[in-house]
Structure 1
Amino acid sequence: MKLRKVTAAAAAALVLSLTATACGGDDKDSDTGSGSTDGGGTIKVGIKYDQPGLGLKEAGGDFSGFDVDVATYVAKELGYAPDKIEFVETKSADRETALARGDVKFIAATYSITDERKQKVDFAGPYLLAHQDLLTKADSDITEATDLNGKKLCSVTGSTSAQNVKDEIAPKAQLRSYGTYSECIAGLQSGAVDAVTTDDSILAGFAAQEQYKGQFKLAGLKLSNENYGIGVKKGDTETVNKINAALEKMVSDGAWETAVKENFGPANYKNEPAPKIGDIKS
């Protein structure tokens, strides 16, 4: 399989735990599907392909972003070197199905932990606390969520962000659901929609892109707490425990903070401290 490059933070993380990786697990497995958690063979990991700063498939086929760095670190702790990871695109609407079918071993894709989702999948983490916000054009008069009444509000299919705004804050908002955030951002740029809502981390990643600099602004609202977790097939407690241990190690050895600065620093994103495992902010 072709080696997929990841960011410097992920590469540094690999070096930090080279000894642990070399030890690997006792039960090796040559499975090339969803992979085992004891190393050997390859492992399929679900990420987003269209979220700059979080999960992005670049033009040359490489992958970058905070979720990619987290996934790479976790996979390494499970016994898989970067060239043994196959990143699989998992859109918001497809995540539960991908895990249930075994298409991927775990998913790190801005996957907010909710009670509804916990009925279908298990979660490790959280590994990042984000907040729902709004992205508008730089000259927009939308400064509060209530300003969205009568406005066209975009989010992606399968996400709960826009529906939450309509249900709880702006009942006259006109919802527009697109397949990807890239489509929402293009709609915002063209005027097809008036605002995009999702997590501030995602919006900041887009706003910081070279082609969009100066065109958009974040409203700076904390409309919700979004506890990013790593999704695992329901009932796979062993993998959840191993991933939690990997996340704790990533924080303690400094790789988590390095990944945050590398991926969000250029957007001036003010992140929350690394959350404690199991500490879900409501």
Structure 2
Amino acid sequence: MINNENNSNSASTEEKAEHPFDLVGWNETKITRPSTKDIEIVEKQLNKKSKVVPPSAIVKRCKWGYPQVTFAFTSKNLEKNVGNNHFVPGTFLWLTCPRVNHIVDKIETSDEFNIIRQEFGADLNFPKSKKEKRKAQNPQTSEKKTKQEDSSTSIEEKETTNLLMETFKNYDDWLSNKAKITEGIDKDTALLTPEEFIMWKYSVYEKDLTNLPPQRKRYGNAGVSVPTSIKCLHSHVASYMAGAKDHVGKRTFEEGKNVIVNVLHEEDIEDLNFPLDCRSNCIRCRAFDTDHSNKTEKDEQ
């Protein structure tokens, strides 16, 4: 981790913090509706290759004012219907910031990814469908290897001890709170309509025919089907930056500071409130900003 012993601002910040998550300024994220310019910038941030539709909200902005985390559906899932209702996906929060995405890419493609997974007790097991597909492609897969993949701590045990399960619960709590539809001022900032919220619950929980309590079938912002897996660090970082107490996202975010100094070889981080943000006014997103480009052209003339 970054050594900030000589940084008085860091020390004072840590002294004031009552909880590790209070060290960041976005634990009280202000959700805003996207402007036309926001939507244009997000499309360019994602290179128009993403299946994410225009966001319904900007959940986190960088210190320069550009979108970093958005709340949006995916076009693929919007095409599905459940009865008379649209299918509501598990993944709502999307990390759009090119710089933070690049930093997380560096972590996911390094040994640090498996270190993080091990720290949170995440399995490296393949889901059953993937194991069957792989075995069909490679019939010589050993019985010993199959048994190794099948063996894991029981879900019930992990649910009571694992910070990963707490992370999933915290995401549910965050979404439930932000999605609440109430009369008055909160109604305009609700992320889901009442119908969408109900469909989200159905997509995450299921009941069997014997009327047993609801059983989870999807977990967290990435909507993973296995509660002991970490599928995508980007989804966890998006959840953390949105204000959810995502332990995996926080751990990855902290590792991002190391990437900046030791991989990207930038100077020590000074602005601890926005440690992963661009040092100067974001060159890439600024290029996407037509208002800024027009202003620059006029200034040059």
Shorter-normalised TM-score: what interval? under 0.3
More helix as a share of residues: 2
TM-score by length of 1: 0.25
More strand as a share of residues: 1
TM-score by length of 2: 0.24
